[in-house]
Amino acid sequence: MELLERHAEIERLEQSLASARNGSGRSVLVSGEAGIGKTTLVRTFLETHDDSAEFLFGVCDDLSTPRPLSPIWDMSRHDASIAEALALGNRRAVHEEILDRLRRSLRPTVLVIEDGHWADEASLDLIRHVGRRIHDTHGLLVVTYREDEVDPGHPLRPVLGDLPAGSTERISLAPLSRSAVDLMAGDIDSDLAESIYGSTGGNPFFLTEMLAYGGSDMPVSIIDSVLGRVARLSTAASSLVEQLSVVPGQVELSLVEDLVGDWVTGVDEAERQAILELSGTHVMFRHELARRAVEQSLSAGRRRELHGRVLGHLIPQNANASVIVHHAVGAVDAEAILDHAPAAAESATSVGSRREAYGYYETLQPFYPRLAARERAKLLHNWSIAAAEVNDLTRAAELVDEAVQIWRRTDDQMQLGSALRWRSRVAWLLGDRTKAEAYADEAVAILEPLGPSAELAHAYSAQSQLAMLAVRPERAIERASRAIETARPLGEDRIVAHAMVNVGGLWTIGSYPENTELIRDAIAFARREGLQEEVARGTVNYAWGALLARDLDVAERYAIESAEVAEDEELAAYGQYARATLALVKMIKGEWPEVEDIVRSIRAQLEIGPTTGILSGTVLGTLLARRGDPDAAAVLEETWEMSLPTGELHRTGLVAVARAELAWITDDHASIPDLVGADLARSVEAGSHWLAGDLFMWGWVSGHDLGQPPELPQPYLLLFAGEWQSAAEAWKGLGMPYERALALGQGGKEGLLEAVSILDDLGAVAVAGRFRARLRDLGVRSIPRGPIHATRSNPHGLTARQAQIAELLREGLSNPEMADRLFISRRTVESHVSAILTKLGVASRQEAVEVIQSQ
């Protein structure tokens, strides 16, 4: 079929390929509804460059649980080096092999990933990894996906948003016009052509189906069209089509022959009816919609029978476990699911597809009680870990609780101690410190009589971590020392690194300078040993140490590093927490537009744990309070309730500061002593001087006598001594504009006027309003009105920072120029530009400018 009305899209692909040929690689995102012609467009483009470029082509499968790295497995069939990288079971090796291929190729290499809306977590990570680094390669990354299936909560959406706008092309395919339909219809009556066009909306696949059905008795749906042509087949050909309908994607001829025997005649007949296609060593449906139409028409019993036949072929061939599980689920074969789902989960975890790993475990739900007790308990333990890795923490607790109950009924104390240690971790992730400590202590009590073991070392380190977070340094150090002494002779470097990070993480104490060497040593050790989870944990702890010492640039650098390590390793919980830490740093530095973007994107995630929820809620609530947003109280109240079960000072204390500030802003001064009292005493005892200073300050500015100021950093002492100008200069030197404005606000007219100017620039509407009222009380007549702020939601839902960048787009600035103008990174600008294009529903910067100018 001739490719109609796609010349502009082909030209954009050509231009991207030319850029890649010149060493400036690009990503091209091809989107549109099912049947719109994404695959046809890409394959037509590839055919025209068969001799001038190399191709790596793979498809994401529509399996019940996506197969990890499915498109890369497709590529590996024709590429030995990719197959070798896959065999290592390490997604980093796969990433580097693909990138090396794009970099070292003497001619452009086109990496095609079809049906990205079905991509598993590891494949999404590959798209992000390659797409963010493709600009200095000879590569072209092409990803197709169904726009209507990728809603804001779809895992593909943030991946696409992370791709640099400067090296990313977006092609959205529109339906065909009526004139194109006339060309396709040929001699069909014009009234019928008009009716077909109206029914199909110009969708190429739907049009082809209607026209293939023929005659004037047009089917009422595409399913009817496909099934109508299947009904015309002979019994043998129809059986073949039904059998292949339960196998998503391409079907190898060896499998077809094994399932059907004499397949040639049947395939030939189905090809003539435009149902199947024979391509090299594979048979496939002409479109996935056609396969689904046939599969959905089958009775439950028939579908189960056909899946069972495929399963009977795959198991003796030692096929991929994820593919076996898909058909085992379809066949409701309990034995096959029990045999292969754990292996599929383990394989998925090894390449970073944690969500898929959890999905494989979930397929076991109806069948795992059939296992023997010990085998069942081990399975439940691993299943619980998978649940926690995707932040389904309540489920993780339920699963490990069942495992613990089983081990309590056996005499295997080692397994019981291990399960209790993990139960302690889940309790802490759920924000319940009391249970976490009880489970960890019980684990140690059970494991110590058994002698040195990795399980015992891990339990000691769990106790150390809990003590560190509770600011109990002696306990934390003693337990960490035991963990290291037990783990080192056993070669358990991961536990050694964990314990070292615990000791280095004693940053809530006021001796931050002395602790920097400890945490640096811990991070360096984890890096040397390739223990990326501990690198992520160590760097975010370092960021907090710097933050609580108000060394903001260092805090920002380490928070970013932690987030990047977590992102590369698909450590979702660490990544979210590191980004929330970054948001807090940026709020203190006065970079508020970015702060709101970060915290709202975190809180939009389907699952976030209490630790991230508390931190992001504190930052968001504080920001809303300063802006006078009525939602602030509800956000902070919810965050306070979430923080209480943790019992951890750096969680409850931060929320207490935010609540006290809100009380000051809303003139609820009487409540402030109660809000800050308990955490102020704890912070003084712990030596957390900056936190103590924040808590004491809100009582002081509200006129409450909280006693003699404790040992505090200099800016607070200057403020409390009435030296507001010196305090303001000290805050300025630390890069903290909001605190500087608060100090200036303690002075007379000149101080208040300067404070109002700073607060207006920040967008602290509520606080600026308070200071303007004080100026009026002082009889000042000429008070700046302040900026006229846009409404909270502009017509396109852009955030404040995005609206700012949109204006710079209108001025014609490049990404580097915008980064320089706004004092932010180019990567941040690229992310915002990409988000703006998405929100405006356009594919290019020029189109965005046209929309902006039309407002």
pLDDT tens digit sequence for 184-236: 777 667 777 777 777 677 788 877 777 766 544 545 566 777 888 888 899 99
Residue 813 has pLDDT above 90, yes or no: no
Decide the pairing of beta strands 282-285 and 276-279: antiparallel
d(C-alpha 794, C-alpha 820), whole Å: 25
- Range among 63-77, 132-146, 176-190, 832-846 rated most confident: 132-146
Report d(CA 606, CA 618) in Å as an integer. 19
DSSP string across 411-456? S-HHHHHHHHHHHHHHHHHTT-HHHHHHHHHHHHHHHGGG-S-HHH
Task: Provide the pLDDT for residue 179.
Answer: 83
CB atoms within 10 A of CB 629: 16
Distance of CA 144 to the CA centre of its chain: 20
Backbone angles phi, psi at 75, to 5 degrees: -65, -35
- pLDDT for residue 316: 93
Task: Compute the distance between CA of residue 592 and CA of residue 598 in angstroms, rounded to an integer.
Answer: 10
pLDDT band at residue 479, thresholds of 50, 70 and 90?
Answer: very high
- Amino acid 109: pLDDT: 92
Ranking 261-275, 448-462, 653-667 by mean pLDDT, the lowest is 261-275
Give Cα 356 to chain centroid, integer Å: 14
Indicate the residue type of 466. L
Give the pLDDT score at 424: 97
- Give the sign of the dihedral formed by CA 769, CA 774, CA 779, CA 782: negative
Query: According to the model, what pLDDT value does residue 373 have?
Result: 95
- What's the Cα-to-Cα distance from 170 to each of 62, 113, 164, 202, rounded to whole Å? 24, 15, 12, 21
Question: Is the pLDDT score of 789 beyond 60?
Answer: no
- To which H or E segment does residue 398 belong? helix 393-408
User: What does the DSSP 8-state code read for residue 170?
Assistant: E
State how far the Cα of 478 lies from the Cα of 769, in Å rounded to an integer: 52
Q: How many of the other CB atoms lie within 10 Å of CB of 131?
A: 24
Do residues 587 and 736 touch, judged by C-beta distance below 8 A?
Answer: no
The boundaries of every CATH 3.40.50.300 domain in the chain are 7-174
Q: 536 pLDDT band (50/70/90 cuts)?
A: very high
- Predicted confidence at residue 687, as pLDDT, reads 80
Query: With 80 as the cut, is the pLDDT of residue 294 above it?
Result: yes
Listed residue (141, 170, 164) closest to 844, CA to CA: 170
Cα distance from N-terminal residue to C-terminal residue, the chain? 41
Residue 511 pLDDT greater than 70, yes or no = no
From the list 550, 473, 458, 568, the residue with the least C-alpha distance to 513 is: 550
Fold category of 800-854 in CATH: Arc Repressor Mutant, subunit A (1.10.10)
Residue 272 exposure: Cα atoms within 13 Å on the Cβ side: 10
- Position with higher pLDDT, 467 vs 709: 467
pLDDT at 353 over 70: yes
Residue 793 scores a pLDDT above 50: no
Contact 713, 693 (CB under 8 A): yes
- Please report, as a single letter, which amino acid is at residue 30: V
Interatomic CA distance for residues 468 and 789, integer angstroms: 44
Cβ atoms within 10 Å of 707's Cβ, excluding its own: 9
Mean pLDDT of 104-114: 89
pLDDT at 637 over 90: yes
**Token representation of residue 310:** 């495929």
Instruction: Indicate whether this model's pTM tops 0.85.
Output: no
Q: What distance in Å separates the CA atoms of residue 844 and residue 213, rounded to the nearest whole number?
A: 39
Phi-psi region of 835 (alpha: psi -120 to 50; beta: other; left: phi over 0): alpha
Residue 137 CA to residue 98 CA, distance in Å, equals: 11
- Joined tokens for residue 396: 């993780």
Q: Does residue 721 carry a pLDDT above 80?
A: yes
Count of C-beta atoms within a 10 Å radius of residue 662: 25
Which helix (H) or strand (E) element contains residue 141? strand 139-146
Return the sign of the alpha-carbon dihedral for residues 218, 220, 226, 231.
negative
List, for residues 753-776, the tens digit of each pLDDT value.
999 999 998 989 889 888 888 888
Q: What is the largest CA-CA distance in the chain?
A: 98
Q: Which amino acid is at 133?
A: R
pLDDT reported for residue 215: 46
Strand 276-279 to 251-252 pairing: unpaired
Asked if 665 contacts 766 with a C-beta cutoff of 8 angstroms, the reply is yes
What does the pLDDT read at residue 590? Answer: 93
The pLDDT assigned to 216 comes to: 46
Number of other CB atoms surrounding residue 17 within 10 Å: 23
Alpha-carbon span 754 to 134, nearest angstrom: 47
- Tell me the one-letter amino acid at 147: E
- Measuring CA to CA, how many Å separate 325 from each of 260, 356, 529? 22, 12, 35
Which residue is listed with tokens 């549109």? Answer: 32
- Whether 655 has a pLDDT exceeding 70, the answer reads yes
Mean pLDDT of 325-353: 92
Burial of 455 (0-12, 13-18, 19+ CB in 10 A): buried
Question: pLDDT confidence of 607, banded at 50, 70, 90?
Answer: low
Q: What is the DSSP code string of 719-738?
A: HHTT-HHHHHHHHHHHT-HH
The answer to whether residues 171 and 12 touch, using CB atoms and an 8 Å cutoff, is: yes
Residue 844, CA distances (Å) to 21, 29, 151, 168 in order = 21, 12, 20, 9
> How many Å apart are CA 99 and CA 126, to the nearest integer?
10
Q: What does the pLDDT read at residue 800?
A: 63
Q: What are the two backbone dihedrals, phi and then psi, of residue 617, each rounded to the nearest 5 degrees?
A: -65, -40
CATH fold for the domain made of 180-331: Arc Repressor Mutant, subunit A (1.10.10)
Classify domain 7-174 by CATH architecture: 3-Layer(aba) Sandwich (3.40)
Q: What share of the chain in percent tops pLDDT 70? A: 92
In the chain, residues under CATH classification 1.10.10.10 are 800-854
> For the chain, percent helix, then strand, then coil, each to nearest 5?
70, 5, 25
Residue 840 pLDDT greater than 80, yes or no: no
**What Å distances lie between residue 518 and 58, 501, 540, 769, CA to CA?**
46, 8, 14, 45
Amino acid at 836: I
| Cα–Cα distances in angstroms (integers) from residue 230 to residues 82, 226, 297, 303, 309, in the given order | 39, 6, 11, 16, 21
Residue 377 or 781, more confident: 377
- Please say whether the beta carbons of 205 and 175 come within 8 A: no
Look at strands 139-146 and 26-32 and give their pairing.
parallel
Q: Which of 659, 613, 657, 615 is nearest to 636 (CA)?
A: 659
Which residue in this structure is represented by tokens 């306990």?
Answer: 475
Q: 414 or 159, which is more confident?
A: 414
Q: Give the pLDDT band of residue 626 (cuts 50, 70, 90).
A: very high
Between CA 555 and CA 548 the distance in angstroms is: 9
Angle at 69 between CA 65 and CA 71, to 5 degrees: 105
Mean pLDDT of the chain: 87
pLDDT at position 235:
92
pLDDT for the residue numbered 508: 47
At residue 822 the predicted structure's pLDDT band, cuts being 50, 70 and 90, is low
Count other Cβ atoms within 10 Å, centred on residue 550: 18
pLDDT at 790: 42
Q: What six digits make up the tokens of 103?
A: 């970099």
Element (H, E) at 171: strand 168-172
Q: How many residues does the chain have?
A: 855
> What DSSP string describes 345-365?
HHHHHHTT-HHHHHHHHHTTT
Q: Backbone dihedral region of 825: left (phi > 0), alpha (psi from -120 to 50 degrees) or beta?
A: beta
Beta strand 26-32 pairing with 282-285:
unpaired
Q: What is the C-alpha separation between 589 and 550, in angstroms, rounded?
A: 10
- Name the residue type at position 370: R
